[in-house]
Amino acid sequence: MKMKKTILEVVNLKKYYHQGRGPFSLGRGRQRTIPAVDDVSFYLKENETLGLVGESGSGKTTVGKTILRLIPATSGEIFFDGKEILSLSAGEFHPLRKDMQMVFQDLDAGLNPKMRVQAILKEAVRVHHQMSSPEVDDRIRTLLEQVNLKESKLGNFPHELSGGEKRRVGIARALAVGARFLVADEPTSGLDVSIQAQVVNLLKDLQDRLGLSYLFISHDLRMVELVSHKVAVMYLGRIVELGLAGHIAHAPRHPYTRSLWSSLVTKESREVSAPTSPGSSGDWGVFDFERSFSGCRFAPRCPVYQEQARPDICTDPVSEPQLYDVGRAHKVACHFPLS
């Protein structure tokens, strides 16, 4: 069997946001620093999917945007095809931009409301490729076929499309540019359950046909397990567990990963018994960086910490748990990993 190439490697990536105290603080208010991504490392093999899972606010989108240089990193290195890209000038990075694209969580992102689908795709095809008009039309027809969209939709404006169709156009647009690596940020959010499955199957199908590599971002561990080869679990800016999808889903070693499952289960039973009110869905785990922490960031919510009678090491400021190997390509950052 051929050894798969590493297409992406992220090394000690940090992204800190600095928030002022607002326009009326007259320079006296202190700045707040949010360590949205705090020393994250992982790699992705060609033609594989790495799932990035964690509650809202854990830093997943920030990881994706930093990799694509849509926002600047605070520090760290990112290797794409073996080449470090954070140190490249904008001009040096430009030719690589076509290789790596984002499918944004927002269904309308990147879809100019004043442009018909045809124009949107044309623009995307042309941005990095010199092509004659017949070649462009050919390319667009291929793209439509690849994302399973009827040719009649070419004449539509974005607002005339269903959510699932918008998502397909968004994916086609990323492919039109020529992407080999996609960051798919919650690509099923805002879609009906039946459509979610179609989008997931489409992404898998495209991966098989075109050899694509994905960073698949979702707060839903079930979804992530379905599409990913490996899974990284994020909590407050850090990866707390990393391993093969089946192991992370069915034999988690980190207490947080286990609680991700139970929160899914309780969320589901709640939804069955009482439909959640608008706005409340999806925020079952929103947290913020306001709470100060020392040692393990998960300690304030950790059931194992409670069961173990609050061991000092969990909150020792110099002992923040680091990822370590527990065998079978599995890593966990916890002083008392589950067995």
Residue 176 binding ligand ADP, by CB under 6 A: no
Rounded Cα distance between 228 and 232, Å, is: 10
* Residue of the chain from 61, 188, 189, 228 that contacts Mg ion (CB under 5 A): 61
Rounded Cα distance between 64 and 69, Å, is: 9
DSSP 58-116: SSHHHHHHHHTTSS--SEEEEEETTEE-TTS-HHHHHHHHTTEEEE-SSTTTT--TTS-
In the complex, the smallest distance separating the C-beta of residue 35 from ligand ADP, rounded to whole angstroms, is 9
Count of residues of this chain found to bind Mg ion when the rule CB under 5 A is applied:
1
Rounded Cα distance between 215 and 226, Å, is: 13
Alpha-carbon radius of gyration of the chain: 21
Residue 54 binding ligand ADP, by CB under 6 A: yes
Residue 58 binding Mg ion, by CB under 5 A: no
The binder of 34, among ligand ADP, ligand SF4, Mg ion, none, by C-beta within 5 to 8 A per type, is ligand ADP
Q: Which residues of the shown chain bind ligand SF4 in the complex (CB under 6 A)?
A: 255, 296, 298-299, 302, 304-305, 314, 321, 334-336
* Residue of the chain from 8, 38, 40, 61 that contacts ligand ADP (CB under 6 A): 61
The DSSP 8-state label assigned to residue 265 in this structure reads H
By DSSP bridging, strand 213-218 and strand 49-53 are: parallel
The residue with its CB nearest to Mg ion is 61
In the complex, the smallest distance separating the C-beta of residue 143 from Mg ion, rounded to whole angstroms, is 26
In the complex, the smallest distance separating the C-beta of residue 248 from ligand SF4, rounded to whole angstroms, is 15
Rounded Cα distance between 278 and 16, Å, is: 31
Residue 56 binding ligand ADP, by CB under 6 A: yes
Count of residues of this chain found to bind ligand ADP when the rule CB under 6 A is applied:
14
Rounded Cα distance between 212 and 251, Å, is: 28
Rounded Cα distance between 339 and 333, Å, is: 14
The binder of 296, among ligand SF4, Mg ion, ligand ADP, none, by C-beta within 5 to 8 A per type, is ligand SF4
Q: What are phi and psi of 129, to 5 degrees?
A: -135, 130
The binder of 51, among ligand ADP, Mg ion, ligand SF4, none, by C-beta within 5 to 8 A per type, is none
In the complex, the smallest distance separating the C-beta of residue 58 from ligand SF4, rounded to whole angstroms, is 14
Q: Which residues bind ligand ADP (CB under 6 A)?
A: 17, 19, 34, 36, 54, 56-62, 288-289
